[in-house]
Amino acid sequence: MFSECSSLTNINLSNYNTNNVTNMSFMFSDCPSLTNINFSNFNTDIVTNMSFMFNKCSSLTNINLSNFNTNNVNDMKGMFFGCSSLTNINLSNFNTNNVKDMSWMFWGCSSLMKINLSNFNTDIVTNMSYMFSRCSSLTNINLSNFNTDIVTNMDKMFFGCKQLTKNNIIAKDKRIINEFII
């Protein structure tokens, strides 16, 4: 919808009706100048696909998605791919019970220093490849609720996380720690 709007810097979607939208993939993809999005009344109740939604929004520093309803989302692949200026992200209300693909989700979020995903449910996720790759400023991460029992691909999950060490990853699941390769 707003894909490749390279000069777009600010957008107010507070009165935008998204009640019937099921697919928001690539919605803001390749909007490198975008610095502010107002999602205050954004309805995501029936959305199933949020893949690459903020792909390469390299000027966004803060995204507040606390009002997003993600109960029906099954694809979050590359959702924040290449958001290199992102320093803060509020995912506290994200429901990931139906998500199957989280690959590339935070790839290249090189300014992100910490992220708390302790509320994420990964019971049916099968793909976590490159999920945190190139998050070069990430210093700690809480993945204590991550379950990787049916994950078939964790390839390069932490590749390029130069500040992260095995001691700074909070995880009960030993597969996550074993996948740690900078």
Tell me the per-residue pLDDT of 51-89, one tens digit each, with 9 for 90 and over.
Answer: 999 999 999 998 888 888 999 999 999 999 999 999 988
pLDDT at position 65 is 86
Output the CA torsion sign for 8, 9, 15, 21: positive
Give the pLDDT band (50/70/90) at residue 165: confident
Is the pLDDT reported for residue 182 higher than 60?
Answer: no
Domain boundaries, the chain: 1-182
Which pTM does this prediction carry? 0.92
Is the pLDDT reported for residue 181 higher than 80?
Answer: no
pLDDT tens profile 107-163: 999 999 888 888 899 999 999 999 999 999 999 888 888 999 999 999 999 999 999
CB burial of residue 13 (10 Å; 0-12, 13-18, 19+): middle
> CATH number of the domain at 1-182, out of 3.30.70, 1.10.357, 2.60.40, 3.80.10?
3.80.10
Residues in the chain: 182
Helix (H) or strand (E) holding 62: strand 62-64
Contacts of 146 (CB under 8 A, 6+ apart): 117, 120, 122, 171, 172, 173, 176
Mean pLDDT for 44-52 is: 97
Q: Are 122 and 102 in contact (CB under 8 A)?
A: yes
Give the other-Cβ count within 10 Å of 20's Cβ: 8
Which residues, listed in sequence order, are joined to residue 23 by a DSSP beta bridge?
49
Which residues, listed in sequence order, are joined to residue 142 by a DSSP beta bridge?
116, 170
Spatial distance between the Cα atoms of 60 and 32, rounded to a whole number of angstroms: 8
